């Protein structure tokens, strides 16, 4: 690929997790000719909020060109802040939380309508349906305690960043059910989400197709 055809995919993990979540997606993206930056958000530090998480992502990007910011789950609260602080070609939410400017992370649940949903079946595998057992075990072993001390503070996001945005819905997601996600995306982004087979932890359940979808978003971008 020529330089202007090569993206730098900036991969942001979900809450309480690590960049390891992307370890099966990253090599596929590299095989497709792209750079990958997968960041461990500084979750454990009580002094940090979503603004500091975004700073960590921006620092990891350095001066790399053609940034595509990809956020999973809780990471969606961080991604638009990143895009407001650094030049970005594309923003992709993967079954992620879409914040409103100035909205505190703790307020997202009720403001988005999520807490109005019926409680999930406690016997169901809400997060890991479709993920091989050995990957579930490894992911749980790597899980981190998220301080969340500042999650009641308003987000530093003042306005939505002027960047093309896509949303990828997971058809088998038991945590953010498709019907909820479609409404949330229409209300908050004004677009229709795209869809992919797989559950909430899609990067572990269906990594190759996810990587190929991300690549396709890049190649279809009018730039």
The tokens for 78 are 């961080």
- pTM value is 0.94
Alpha-carbon gap, residue 28 to 158, rounded angstroms: 35
- Averaged pLDDT for residues 81-102: 98
CB atoms within 10 A of CB 135: 19
- Rounded alpha-carbon distances, angstroms, from residue 60 to 38, 49, 89: 8, 17, 17
Helix (H) or strand (E) holding 29: helix 26-31
| pLDDT exceeds cutoff 90 at 158 | yes
At 49-73, the pLDDT tens digits run 999 999 999 999 999 999 999 999 9
Helix (H) or strand (E) holding 12: strand 8-12
Hey, what domains does the chain have and what are their CATH numbers? 3-114+123-220 (3.40.50.1820)
The tokens for 12 are 């942001």
What pLDDT, on the 0 to 100 scale, is given for residue 2?
41
């Amino acid at each position: 690929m020529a330089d202007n055809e090569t993206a730098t995919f900036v991969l942001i993990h979900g809450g309480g997790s690590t960049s390891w979540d992307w370890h099966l997606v990253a090599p596929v993206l590299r095989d497709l000719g792209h750079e990958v930056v997968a960041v461990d958000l500084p979750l454990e530090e009580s002094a940090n909020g979503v603004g500091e998480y975004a700073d960590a992502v921006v620092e990891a990007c350095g001066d790399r060109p053609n940034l595509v910011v990809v956020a999973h789950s809780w990471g969606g609260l961080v991604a638009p802040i990143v895009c407001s602080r650094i030049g970005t070609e594309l923003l992709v939410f993967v079954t992620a939380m879409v914040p409103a400017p100035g909205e505190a992370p703790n307020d997202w649940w009720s403001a988005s309508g999520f807490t109005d949903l019926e409680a999930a079946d406690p016997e169901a595998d809400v997060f890991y349906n479709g993920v091989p057992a050995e990957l579930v075990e490894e992911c749980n072993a790597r899980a981190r305690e998220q301080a969340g001390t500042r999650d009641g503070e308003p987000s530093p996001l003042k306005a939505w960043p002027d960047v093309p945005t896509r949303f990828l819905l997971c058809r088998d997601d038991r945590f953010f059910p498709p019907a909820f996600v479609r409404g949330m995306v229409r209300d908050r982004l004004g677009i229709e989400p795209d869809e992919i087979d797989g559950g909430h932890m899609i990067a572990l359940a269906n990594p190759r197709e996810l990587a190929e979808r991300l690549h396709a978003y890049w190649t279809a971008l009018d730039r």
